[in-house]
Structure formats: C-alpha cells, structure tokens
Amino acid sequence: MSERLQPGDVAPAFTLPDADGNEVSLADHKGRKVIVYFYPAALTPGCTKQACDFTDNLEVLAGAGYDVIGISPDQPEKLAKFREKESLKVTLLADPDKQVLDAYAAFGEKKNYGKTYMGVIRSTIIVDESGKVEHALYNVRATGHVAKIIKDLGI
C-alpha cells in the first residue's frame, strides 16, 4: 500500500477509461483544479449519494474552477449504467487493476464489524492547477462530504 498523500506532493499521473471507454488523464486538466474522489462501487447507496452530491454541486464547483473526477474499481460498462441511472454529470473513471487507487493510497486495509479486509478507502484528493496535492482527505463519509469540501474551500 502506498503512503498517504500530503499537501505539496505531486499528484500521481494517471490515464484511465471513462464510462464510454475514452481515455482520461489527470494531465488533461492541467491549469484547472481537480477534485479526484475514490469510491468503492457504483450503484451502491453511499456511492450513489456521494456521486449525486457532486453532480448537484458541479456548477458551483466548476464556477470556482474545479473539475470533478470519480474513480472506482468498476468496469466502464458499470460506470455507464451508474451514470445513466442516476443522471450523473461528473467524470467517472474505471480502475479495475487498482493501480491508481493504490498510487493515491485509496486502497488498503479496512475494518468493518470487527473484520479486516482489503478495499477502497473512500478518499478525496484536491489537486491544484500545477498538479500538486492541495488537500488529501481519507476515510471520508459519503453523506455531507461535498458540502464540507465546499465550506473548507471557501466556495
């Protein structure tokens, strides 16, 4: 498992397929701030809530100069279903090999009901215009997280 990112670190570069199978890179967003959030699975209650919150606040975030990218280990086909079913407007990327999840320390040991297992750690990394980490938030809650980001960023 990778070390957790800290403010000032260079955000790991990535290129992943989106819900339509098109390649999307972090480098495509150079010059803009990017909110990269990692979630366990499309079409699950918490992840749906979080994705809908980001979609509902996308105009506010975009107006403040932020792009939003959601990354999960799902396949592009599942992401397309998720986007259609929930009318999502955020960019969803597939990382089935978990290489990007690992590079961002968003995959690792989790505990649930006394059991330890490997899984996606719900995380949000905010990357500045030059590709450096501005904020690194780990073990975030799905509910209320977007409102907290907006408040913390002073948007």
Instruction: Give catalytic residue positions.
Output: 47
Q: How far apart are the first and last CA of the chain?
A: 33
Q: Which residue has the tokens 């499309």?
A: 42
Residue 15: other Cβ atoms inside 10 A: 12
Q: How many residues does the chain have?
A: 155
Contact by Cβ (8 Å): 132, 28:
no
Rg, the chain, Cα only: 14
